[in-house]
Amino acid sequence: MMQDTVERHLSPQLCHRMRSEDTFPVEWRPLDGKDRFAVRAVWPTDHPFFTPVRRGAGWCHDPLLVVETLRQATMALLHTAHGVPLTRHMLLSEISLTGDPTGLTVVGDEPDIEVRFTERLLRGDQLTEMRVEWTVRRAERVVATGGAHARFAGPAAYRRLRGGRVEPGVVHPGPWTHRAPAPLVGRSGPEDVLLGPTGREGVWELVVDTGHPTLFQRPNDHIPGMLFLEAARQAASAALWPLPCLPTALRITFHRYAEFDGGPCLLRAEPASTAGTPRAFEVTGYQDGARLFSCELRTG
């Protein structure tokens, strides 16, 4: 099959963002059928939140910037290529990424992303479940791979699933909120710190700030998954301190929704029992005694 060479431009709305400076995929084109696509993206070096991470004497793009780019690209393709309405809810159950830090250096070509949709399940003409796989290249070299699994629900089904809890939650921590020191968790400023000390070693309380300009751009009825992925990275950073924390592989599995009006969300970071991988951690999140997510991180 001949490849379609016409590129389609992507808007912040299609990527579920409000601002163009937070929208990283810029163009896409189909490679074959409705299951394989090429996406061109731009990774900024001066983003206020997804800032470069030091590696040795140089700097790498933040692996979570890569994850966010892939997440945005997937949502945009679902809307544009698969016709999924913007009103349909995407329920992520898993995200994974493995990256080569030497290929994520700040100095280098812009990324070319291949997105492949697999295991698509339909109910009538409605997409109900799918898996996506990603390959990220720079100058034809593979620098990262990953994937995700998601389910989909319309407004009525989503309201039933959430037990009617679909109104946006609002939490604005005051300046007195006790947060971990920014350098300890790998951040440069206190406004980006998502962990508060609990007095127990390796256990943190999640700091939720719905006024954060990057993590909360749109009203949300639950605490979003990307917040937990960043919090897990920060917990691993604190466990490694003073060594640097540059994730080279991660996998996060979401077990249930985290509620704004529930109890505190607690995170526990523990060394993973992975043979030959001493700098691996498992971070688990809980709310009201129920597990929210499990995240495995391996650092370089």
Q: Are residues 139 and 236 in the same domain?
A: no
Q: Are residues 154 and 84 in the same domain?
A: yes
Q: Tens digits of per-residue pLDDT, 113-126?
A: 999 999 878 887 88
What one-character-per-residue DSSP string does 77-96 give? Answer: HHHHTS---TTSEEEEEEEE
Q: Tens digits of per-residue pLDDT, 157-187?
A: 999 999 888 898 889 887 778 999 999 999 9
* Residue that is last in its domain, among 106, 130, 161: 161
Average pLDDT (260-274) is: 89
Peptide bond into 242 cis (omega under 30): yes
pLDDT (0 to 100) of residue 1:
32
Q: Are residues 274 and 137 in the same domain?
A: no
pLDDT (0 to 100) of residue 179:
95
pLDDT (0 to 100) of residue 277:
56
pLDDT (0 to 100) of residue 4:
55
Whether 49 maps to a domain, the answer reads yes
Whether 142 maps to a domain, the answer reads yes
Whether 16 maps to a domain, the answer reads yes
Q: Are residues 43 and 126 in the same domain?
A: yes
Percentage of the chain with pLDDT > 90?
A: 70
Whether 250 maps to a domain, the answer reads yes
* Residue that is last in its domain, among 96, 129, 161: 161
Whether 127 maps to a domain, the answer reads yes
pLDDT (0 to 100) of residue 125:
80
Q: Are residues 119 and 18 in the same domain?
A: yes
User: For residue 91, which of 252, 225, 288, 233 has the smallest C-alpha distance?
Assistant: 225
Hunting for tokens 């691996």 — which residue is that?
280
Q: Are residues 228 and 120 in the same domain?
A: no
* Mean of per-residue pLDDT scores for the chain: 90
Q: Is the pTM for the entire model greater than 0.85? A: yes
Average pLDDT (263-282) is: 82
pLDDT (0 to 100) of residue 173:
87
Reduced to 3 states, what is the DSSP secondary structure of residue 75?
Answer: helix
What crossing angle do the helices spanning 63-80 and 225-240 adopt, rounded to 10°?
170
Q: Are residues 137 and 32 in the same domain?
A: yes
Q: Supply the DSSP symbol for 227.
A: H
Whether 1 maps to a domain, the answer reads no
Q: Are residues 146 and 278 in the same domain?
A: no
Whether the CB-CB separation of 49 and 229 falls below 8 Å is answered with no
Strand partners, 204: 197, 267
Q: Are residues 48 and 105 in the same domain?
A: yes
Structural domain count, the chain: 2
User: For residue 230, which of 67, 57, 15 has the smallest C-alpha distance?
Assistant: 67
* Alpha-carbon radius of gyration of the chain: 19
Instruction: Band the pLDDT of 33: cuts 50, 70, 90.
Output: confident
Whether 174 maps to a domain, the answer reads no
Reduced to 3 states, what is the DSSP secondary structure of residue 157?
Answer: helix
Whether 170 maps to a domain, the answer reads no
**Residue predicted with more confidence, 24 or 2:** 24
Q: Are residues 151 and 192 in the same domain?
A: no
Q: Are residues 23 and 130 in the same domain?
A: yes
pLDDT (0 to 100) of residue 37:
95
Q: How far is CA 137 from CA 58, 250, 279, in A?
A: 20, 18, 26
The whole-angstrom separation of Cα 148 and Cα 141 is: 22
> What CATH number does residue 124 fall under?
3.10.129.10
* Domain limits for position 154: 8-161
What end-to-end distance do the CA atoms of the chain give, in Å? 40
Residue 9, pLDDT > 70, answer yes
Q: Tens digits of per-residue pLDDT, 51-106?
A: 999 888 789 999 999 999 999 999 999 999 888 888 899 999 999 999 999 999 99
Q: Are residues 99 and 191 in the same domain?
A: no
